[in-house]
Structure 1
Amino acid sequence: MLTNERAPPAASPALLLDTTWTDQDLLALCETILVETMMSAVDGRSCDRTRAEAWKWIDSDDEQPFGFRICGTALGADPDELRSMFRQQATRLGLIASHN
């Protein structure tokens, strides 16, 4: 549409990063990362590289922010138990033959 009105200026990247994250926001992010990555690990539509990277993340004991251990713990789960249950369920359902 042709008008004399101008679109509002786009927010600068610096302004987008200047956001206050609540504890609830961080928990939601942890949950999303955890669920999406675990789904990618067993999704036949994921390429081999994506599945391998997902399993690498799941198997990692890295204590970096948003690592598997941190995300699982933040959501109230024992990361070792979560990892084991997920691997057993994926194997039982035939989504993975075995892992490692």
Structure 2
Amino acid sequence: MKALNINLYEHLDNQEVQLELDIFGPYEPVKTAQIIPFKPKVEWGESAITVLREGLLCNTLRSLADGRAGVATKDESMAWLMSNNIDPFSFVVCCSELGYNPETLREQTLFTLNRLNTKSNNP
């Protein structure tokens, strides 16, 4: 390959400066793009979503009654239980999709938790 010479004349104190640029440079083979396959998209069936909702509801109710659960876990579980948000895995949607009345289950859960707290405070 040829080098292209570019002469730059700069008159600083009567000095001439020459710059040589090799714009064609050494030959480098063209790199091809590597194809990275995507992982297949996970498809959730209705039965799998129902099982997940049931597990979420049961585990959350258990954590509220479990004396070993930490304060942060209980606070998060109680916030979820008391929320009226409508999201795919909100308390209201989980209850409704599983055939429970959210208000009734909420009231019964609070009643049971009250009784458990009363029993643990009065041995």
For Structure 1 versus Structure 2, the TM-score category normalised by the shorter chain is 0.7 to 0.9
Amino acid at match of 1:25: A
CA distance in 2: counterparts of 1:51 and 1:21, whole angstroms: 29
What's the C-alpha RMSD, in Å, of the aligned pairs?
2.1
**Alpha-carbon shift at residue 40 of structure 1 (Å):** 1.1
Structure 1 alignment gaps of length 5 or more: 1-13
Q: 1:15 aligns with which of 35, 39, 55?
A: 39
- The change in CA–CA distance for 1:95 and 1:35 in structure 2 (over 3 A counts) is farther
In the other structure, the counterpart of 1:54 is: 77
CA distance in 2: counterparts of 1:19 and 1:64, whole angstroms: 20
**Alpha-carbon shift at residue 95 of structure 1 (Å):** 7.0
Structure 2 alignment gaps of length 5 or more: 1-37
In the other structure, the counterpart of 1:71 is: 94
Amino acid at match of 1:59: M
Contact 1:30–1:66 (CA<8 Å) still a contact in 2? Answer: yes
Identity over aligned pairs, percent: 29
Aligned residues: 83
In the other structure, the counterpart of 1:3 is: none
Higher-helix-fraction structure? 1
**Alpha-carbon shift at residue 42 of structure 1 (Å):** 2.1
Q: Which has the higher contact order (CA 8 A, sep 6+)?
A: 1
Q: Secondary structure of 2:88's partner? A: coil
Higher-strand-fraction structure? 2
**Alpha-carbon shift at residue 94 of structure 1 (Å):** 2.8
Q: Choose 1 or 2 for highest CA Rg.
A: 2
In the other structure, the counterpart of 2:105 is: 82
Q: 2:52 aligns with which of 18, 29, 32?
A: 29
